[in-house]
Amino acid sequence: MDMIKSTQSVGEIVSILPRASEIFKQYRIDFCCGGNRPLIDVIKESNLDESEILNKLKEAFDEKRSIKESNKDFTKMSLEELTEYIENTHHVYLKRTLPELSELTIKIMRVHGAKHEVLFRVHKLFMTLKADLERHLFKEEEILFPSIRDYDISPSAEKYAKVKKVMKETEDEHEVAGDILKELRKITEDYNVPADGCSSYSRTFNMLEEIEEDLYQHIHLENNILFKYFETN
């Protein structure tokens, strides 16, 4: 590919150029749940500067080409490799992080909630997200990914239909998670820690941002790469 074009979908651009996710995040462009939308549509809808964004993407693309990045090419992975990568990277991260964040959101709510009522909302949203993600990870590990691997070994119409059904449910769950992440960022004013916030307050907001970044990449790999296989086969 010679260049990135605004007519390409947001998800396709991130698949080709992983660093594009960092650029899109700066402009609050959803590249996971909204990854199938053409970049130009998102730019117009959000009243962004097309030239500015394309220039940044071009710089990142040229840098990638010049240094021949050794990053994993997820589009070249087999279905088994990609599902195992998602489990071993993103699932492991969430299982390690969610319990700690649960304790932290409770702690800062108790300590700072009287002065910063937004923390009650942060706690409620996070606990909803945590419960949803725990069910989501179980479904992927016990139903969706085994079904995908089974289909890959011995395809059949019946197996394909099963994968598509669970895949649709998974995409819907991605939408819900994406909405919660957007709401968390909005109500915290981009995770801005107030002047009287303690170290736990800062750690909580930093970890929420990290989870946001990890989940966006997690959802991107599934919606825009893994699931695309079943749209073309």
pLDDT in tens, 136-156: 999 999 999 999 999 999 999
φ, ψ dihedrals at 14, nearest 5°: -70, -35
pLDDT tier, 69 (very low <50, low <70, confident <90, very high otherwise) = very low
What CA–CA distance (Å, rounded) separates 63 from 17?
Answer: 10
Residue 177 banded pLDDT, cuts 50, 70, 90:
very high
The pLDDT tens digits for 17-36 are: 777 888 888 888 887 777 78
166's tokens = 């669970």
Q: What percent of the chain has pLDDT over 90?
A: 62
pTM more than 0.75: no
Lookup: tokens for 35 = 């990854």
Specify the DSSP class assigned to residue 154.
S
**Which pLDDT score, from 0 to 100, does residue 232 have?**
62
Which of these, 216, 74, 227, 57, lies nearest to 144 by C-alpha position? 227
In the predicted structure, residue 132 carries a pLDDT above the cut 90: yes
Give the contacts of 20 (CB within 8 A, at least 6 positions apart).
4, 13, 14, 31, 57, 60
pLDDT at 70 over 70: no
Q: pLDDT band at residue 71, thresholds of 50, 70 and 90?
A: low
CA distance 46 to 14: 19
pLDDT of 68 reads 47
Task: Tell me the backbone φ, ψ of residue 79, rounded to 5 degrees.
Answer: -60, -40
What is the reported pLDDT for 60?
Answer: 80
Structure-token pair, residue 12: 């396709």
Q: Give residue-wise pLDDT tens across range 95-125.
A: 999 999 999 999 999 999 999 999 999 999 9
**CA–CA distance, 201 with 67 (Å, rounded to integer):** 39
Q: How far apart are CA 17 and CA 71, in angstroms?
A: 10
With a cut of 90, say whether residue 189 has pLDDT above it: yes
| d(C-alpha 49, C-alpha 56), whole Å | 11
